[in-house]
Amino acid sequence: MRMWVMVIAVALISACATLAGLRYFSRDDGQGSSAAAAHSRVDLPRQPPAQTRAVDRQTGEEHITALARLEPENGVIEISGTPGDRVKTLKVKLGERVAAGDELAVLESRTLRQAELEVAQTQLAEAQQRQTAEEAYADATEAEARLAEEEANLSQLDAKAQQDKIAGLKTAYQASQTDLARLEGVRQSDGPTPGDEIVSDQQLAHQRVATDKARNELAAAEAEYEKLERSIDLAHRQAQAKLKTAEASRARIPSTVQVDSLRKQVELAQRRLELTTIRAPSDGVILKLWLSEGETLAQQPILQMADTSRMVAAAEIYEDDALRIKPGQTATIKGDALGEPIDGHVTYVGRLVAKNTVVGLTPTAATDLRVVEARILLDSNELASKLINLQVTVYIPALAVAESSDQPAEQTAQQAKNP
């Protein structure tokens, strides 16, 4: 029994060793063949994919073929709003045609923005009223200063009259002094006998009283004149002070009543309110509604729309064929869904080489081509506008490289703008 167990064990060990050896040699052969195959691929010249060329059986003319997608000339527009806001009302339906400026949707924040606008308008109206009141106060203060200046000027006439009065009183006082001196001189020349006096004591006393009165009236008039002069000077200074107060009040109005900034706030609130109403940026048709009423705006747009009046085929031309086409060439677009070919003409040939994004539906289709974008404007839009993003095949007559380069770059760009 033990002998049979040993025989079976030796047989199993031999079988395992044989399998390991076979795997080792097969791996070496595979690596060698892979290296040889890679070396052979490096040595082979690069060939363009077969689907990039076609020959017209009737004319024998060579055509460049390329995969393309149908799209509006200005692309599909995604309409969105302020992130975090909510769609309150949708104004359009799928497939509906709209004109530029038409309402598409209303956001929930419209009520709040309307209230903010009303508050800003109220604040502006109040500020304008304060500005009017401040200007009226400044006008009144300035008018008061003008009146005070006029009163000071009128007081100059009183001062002139007072000067004339002083001159008269001075003359009367001097005359009274002269009379008093004459009477006193006569009295001294009288004889010693009583009753022989020419000037009596009563006359002399009366003249002395008249002289004192004239002196007092002159002093009072001079004091009144000095007071009047001071009051006139004070009135002038008060008038100037009131005028400066009026000017200062008028100058501080912009800083105390900020009408300009409030007007800007009204404009800002108006703009925010306008943003709550989503409007169509151009004529077009509604292609897809991404959000429903009540949903919140985040990453997705509200809807997609496009102007389908001008359709193009965005073709991906193989890099080796890019220099064999030029703007202005005729082109034919074919697709099973279209039913019949659509004619068009090339309006743009790009300059950047990139990886292809349009891939054929067959299992053997190339998925890693280097291509250049070209745009073909379609002559008929009726069918193409109903199949946006449809994958089609474009056929463009092939030109010689030198022939496609004869056209100046400026002329090519102009044709691309005005096909």
For 113-168, how does the pLDDT look when each residue is reduced to its tens digit (9 = 90+)?
999 999 999 999 999 998 888 888 888 888 888 888 887 787 777 788 888 888 88
CATH of domain 80-108+277-304: 2.40.50.100
Q: State mean pLDDT over 261-274.
A: 94
The closest of 317, 404, 402, 395 to 63, measured between CA atoms, is 395
| Average pLDDT score, the chain | 81
DSSP 3-state assignment of 405? coil
DSSP 3-state assignment of 331? strand
CATH of domain 50-73+310-417: 2.40.30.170
Query: Which residue type, as a one-letter code, is found at position 214?
Result: A
Q: Can you give the pTM of this predicted structure? A: 0.59
The pLDDT tens digits for 43-93 are: 444 445 545 666 665 666 788 999 999 999 999 999 999 899 999 999 999
What is the per-residue pLDDT for 225? 82
φ/ψ of residue 238, rounded to 5: -65, -40
Q: Who's near 53: CB < 8 A, 6+ residues apart?
A: 62, 63, 64, 65, 321, 398
Residue matched to tokens 């002093």: 219
* Whole-number Å distance between alpha carbons of 40 and 27: 20
Which has the higher per-residue pLDDT, 196 or 100? 100
Residue 194 has pLDDT above 60, yes or no: no
Query: Which residue type, as a one-letter code, is found at position 319?
Result: E
DSSP 3-state assignment of 62? strand
Domain ranges of the chain: 1-44, 50-73+310-417, 80-108+277-304, 114-261
Q: Who's near 197: CB < 8 A, 6+ residues apart?
A: 187, 190
Q: State mean pLDDT over 370-377.
A: 95
What is the per-residue pLDDT for 27? 45
- C-alpha triplet 263, 269, 275: angle, nearest 5°: 140
Helix H or strand E encompassing 122: helix 110-189
The pLDDT tens digits for 12-45 are: 666 655 655 545 444 444 444 443 333 334 444 4
The pLDDT tens digits for 312-330 are: 999 999 999 999 999 999 9
Q: State mean pLDDT over 188-215.
A: 74
The closest of 313, 338, 339 to 396, measured between CA atoms, is 313
| Residue 365 pLDDT grade (very low, low, confident, very high; cuts 50, 70, 90) | low
What is the per-residue pLDDT for 259? 87
What is the per-residue pLDDT for 133? 87
HSE-CB at 57 with a 13 A cutoff on CA atoms is 0
What is the per-residue pLDDT for 32? 43
Residue % of the chain over a pLDDT of 90 = 42
Q: State mean pLDDT over 161-178.
A: 85
